[in-house]
Structure 1
């Protein structure tokens, strides 16, 4: 049986289509119905369709990842990971055998390597299924969270299409449609980045787990899990915009489609930043902006102390950390992640000395100027107190006047004059 050609049409236009298929007359449009209401319904239906597609892209029910270990693509990486883990374990056994004279330390390393190798080989097959289940759980939780509260962004847009102050304005409707189309393109980019990233991290799992065979080095595991979870939970950036949605709705009274469009674009940009740079790089910046705004708008010492205690000063670092409250720059974060897996297998890398960025160094010097001056003054006082007193010196005789001549030292004895020649003998 052929499909009904009117199935893809909604609103009043569907009634026109069905009447035309049946050979009847179109409905009467003199009572305010017909094309005008049909066009309005089409705009709303298009917006609802875009919102539904946007939700499906941001929180898909399926991930581009193998469901089980018998997948051909994953099995190749699993074979490589297992053989690499066994090779590393054999190298550890050989090293322990050659240096068995060291006793307990080598035996302890051998036992740790044996246990972690078994755990790595056993855990390789569990990664695809765990990732699939976690991705499905995150998607369901995302959709449930957005359907349970009307103050979420997508729910607010659906409600504003009916009850907003500019809901009947064709320009506002066209604006929200245009922004939804642009946001849909960004959502496609987010979808591809997340799904391809999840697939890449799943395929890297055997190589990362094989690094445990060296004796339990979990630095690569932590980096791998952190990035994978960041990709999965990126759609929850929409929940971070929920307070702004409520504030905008309270400010405009009944909501505004234009404000919804601005927030929607901001959400997609935030998700891309979360995927590529992670939360630690964004969190301190946002917190610092909030602290600056509070300090500029209030002079209450209690409020200032509270916001300073909750949002301490953060500094960006270009290389290794120098102290607490340091935040990696994106270039530094990529440099760190690049060599984590090689370092887990024992490939050492040269580390540059730690230093701050120029802006962070200037900020730190200005912030610690008073403290630095106090420390310098205290050090000077401590040096002065610890320095021993100078010994008493004897009075020196006054130097002779330039008019009086100084006594000359005695001349050194010269050579004696030669003795006179002896007289000649008599009778010569």
Structure 2
């Protein structure tokens, strides 16, 4: 109870600060992040248990639920980015998305087969892209760029808090029927839909170009070409973390370190809290000094963490996982700041940022189990000076592949650093 009270106090403090600064859009986006992710996370275990224990599906079919969601969200993220620039009524887009999200959440209770669940999961992914890309665009364009990185960091912190609250809600409601759980999620998304009506349209914010500035597919291609180094970096990071940081991450840490599941779970909970603090610090660094410097630091954390994860030493493995988690959580708000600051077609840019990260997550979810089954925990021994160290081939191969692409992306970003200031695309 004390922890819940602390969470609520922090939330109200953040909302109070936002309102005192007349950042009503920020306060609304913060509330949507908390409530929306709580409702989403509440449904995840309920849907998983329904498919596994009622429909009796395989683990591959369960993974397909995640893949379908991220593929659908990747598609809708690009579409809604352009729609925001052409249509302009951003609050209406968010309202429709959350309203349909509420309906889909309720329909899960009446799904009679795994096929219907897969369809609903795909629709849920489409609606998720429409809702959250628009919310992030509004949030980024509603605050000065000097604060934008830290505002996005707090926004994603509240999203992480929403995931924790969703898990807690499910633990409370787990003894109730699926219909009641879906109804609670339905009510939470209805609240989000009502709050979204208070968001501004394009007419009250600046930074979104008119519809005739960049037309059709050409705008997407221009943004993709200009932001290629950033998009490559985001795709690789999300792909890698989806492999080693998803469900497989628990298995790998238990089997490679020999620790119990409870110890690993407690460690990952601590890592999550520390990485949130690190993400805010890196966001402050970007706001105060240089966004590119913050991006380079995230890349350095990723490379170091991926290499440490392959070393057969418990302390180094955990340190590597901490660096990886900090890198991902820092890149998430930083990439949204880049999209809403350094691109002219900002709706398309933030849509592509979400799209490439979702594609990376989907591909990682598909390949994680296969790679682990093929490579397993086979190690090679490397002797350095007077000591011998065992390295896991599975994580070592991934680390070398990811590090190469990350360093290549950073090199391109360094070469194009002057073009970033022009914001032509």
TM norm structure 2: 0.27
Look at both structures and tell me which one has the larger radius of gyration over its CA atoms: 1
TM norm structure 1: 0.27
